[in-house]
Amino acid sequence: MNTATYQKNLDTISDKVASGERVTFEEGVFLDREVDVLTLGRLANTIRERKNGNYAYYNTNIHLNPTNVCVYRCTFCAFRSDLKAEKAYTFTDDMIRERVQEAVASGATEIHVVGGLHHQKKFDWYVNVVRVIHETCPELHIKAWTGVEINWFSHITKKPFDWVLQQLIDAGLGSMPGGGAEIFDSEIRDQICEHKSDAENWLEIHRVAHAMGLRSNATMLYGHLEQAEHRVDHLCRLRELQDETGGFQTFIPLAFHPENTGMDYLHRPSGLTDLKVVALSRIMLDNFDHIKAYWIMLGEKIAQIALSFGADDLDGTVVHELIYHDAGAKTPEGLTVNQLHRLIEEAGRIPIERDTLYRRVVRDGPRWSIGDPLVAGNVF
């Protein structure tokens, strides 16, 4: 592309960003392929500050991966296990209660639950995980089971998605995490997770969940076999569903970690690629309120910089993360609230503790209550 065409394209996109106009698929591919990371960051930061001012959000949460036994063999996954392998584990009800008590003692407002698809467990077992958490601490928000898991439950019960979701809501489900989206393009998807719920299913499950009043998140796994057009296609498909339902809360780009996976011949994405994808996501997803820089996966340093490249959220304290640590993440297993505050403040932002549904958390010693919704563009 010659300099004049490059400049003309960039000027058109900059004008669109300034006026809040939507960037097209072709423009997204141009941004991804041709534009340097600092320019992308400047564009993304304009949108980020328009939507969320100078605030950066975090939450106090804990993870629970109730089993690592999984019928699938996604080539990017280091977490899964065969049933009889040494590393296989499955939580009992008592272990779940203990994790919830730990969450309560640490002041967590959210428990994040995702895991393997254990072929010997019936749907009731998964419903029971939610019920045990809810009965142990009804105040704790349960963000559980990705679209892939909901698809599996529908497969084993032979019931529609809304029936499956209703059983989980009745047991205490509060919202859905964004995992399992990986990359929607079918050719790439077939190479990294051929058996998994396809893009149409994943999107349909979130569509149904939103219609039932559940909020959910969305993710994209990048840095493996995908190219610019696959990333932009993925973002455009999420944007389309968000136009329809408005049910997504936040988008989380997930950097591929190759260690102990079937794709360990690849390098993990560099810091500049991480920042580029955060910025691209912020520019493309004009109808998403939040972009999360998941510090566990990006590392604290890149996550901190990402707060000036389009991200407005760091996720949370995240105690007991396994999926990324099994795949070679060198980040700590958790951060304290003080550490999160320091990261955010040093980035020149104002830290705000939110709950899962982006309402302000008001703390009085170890006790907490839910305050006002943190409305995008009008934070207070």
Question: Which spans of this chain sit near ligand SF4 (rule: CB under 6 A)?
Answer: 70, 72-74, 77, 79-80, 116-117, 148, 193, 196
Residue 278 contact among ligand SF4, ligand V47, none, beta carbon within 5 to 8 Å by kind: none
10 Å Cβ neighbour count for 330? 9
**Beta strands at 359-364 and 367-373: parallel, antiparallel or unpaired:** antiparallel
Q: Which does 70 bind (CB under 5 to 8 A by kind): ligand SF4, ligand V47, none?
A: ligand SF4
What is the DSSP-derived secondary structure letter of residue 276?
H
Q: Work out whether 167 is an interface residue with ligand V47 (CB under 6 A).
A: no
Q: Name the binder of 254 from ligand V47, ligand SF4, none, CB < 5-8 A by kind.
A: ligand V47
Q: Tell the smallest beta-carbon distance from residue 143 to ligand SF4 (Å).
A: 16
Among residues 47, 252, 335, 344, the one that binds ligand V47 under rule CB under 6 A: 252
Stretch that binds ligand V47, among 117-125, 250-258, 282-290, 339-347 (CB under 6 A): 250-258
Binding-site partner at residue 313 among ligand V47, ligand SF4, none, CB < 5 to 8 Å by type:
none
Q: How far apart are CA 101 and CA 365, in angstroms?
A: 18
Q: Which is nearer to ligand SF4, 14 or 75 (CB)?
A: 75
Kindly tell me the number of DSSP H helices and DSSP E strands found in the chain.
15, 12
Residues 206-225 binding ligand V47 (CB under 6 A) are: 217, 219, 221
169 φ, ψ (degrees, to nearest 5): -65, -45
Q: Looking at 171, 254, 283, 311, which residue binds ligand V47 (CB under 6 A)?
A: 254
Q: Quick one: which segment of 31-39, 76-84, 330-338, 372-380 binds ligand V47 (CB under 6 A)?
A: 76-84
Q: Tokens in use for 280? A: 């691209």
For helices 123-136 and 93-105, angle between their N-to-C axes, nearest 10 degrees: 40
Closest distance between ligand V47 and the C-beta of residue 357, in Å?
12
Shortest Cβ 181–ligand V47 spacing (Å): 7
Sequence-ordered alpha helix ranges (H) in the chain? 3-19, 25-34, 37-52, 93-105, 123-136, 147-157, 161-171, 186-192, 199-211, 228-245, 271-284, 295-298, 300-306, 323-326, 337-346
DSSP per position, 15-49: HHHHHTPPPPHHHHHHHHHHS-HHHHHHHHHHHHH
- Going 123 to 129 to 132 to 133, the CA torsion angle's sign is negative
Residue 199 vs 252, nearer CB to ligand V47: 252
Contact between 114 and ligand V47 per CB under 6 A: yes
Tally the C-alpha atoms within 13 A of residue 12's C-alpha that lie toward its C-beta: 13
| Rounded CA separation 53/55 (Å) | 6
Amino acid at 124: D
x-or-dash string of contact with ligand V47, 34-73, rule CB under 6 A: ----------------------------------------
**Least distance from C-beta 4 to ligand SF4, angstroms?**
45
Q: Which does 72 bind (CB under 5 to 8 A by kind): ligand V47, ligand SF4, none?
A: ligand SF4
CB of 149 to ligand SF4, least distance (A): 8
Q: CB–CB of 289/316 below 8 Å?
A: no
Size of the site for ligand V47 (CB under 6 A): 23
Choose between 27 and 292: whose C-beta lies nearer to ligand V47: 292
Binding site for ligand V47 (CB under 6 A): 76-79, 114, 146, 177-180, 182, 217, 219, 221, 252, 254, 256-257, 261, 294, 315, 323, 327
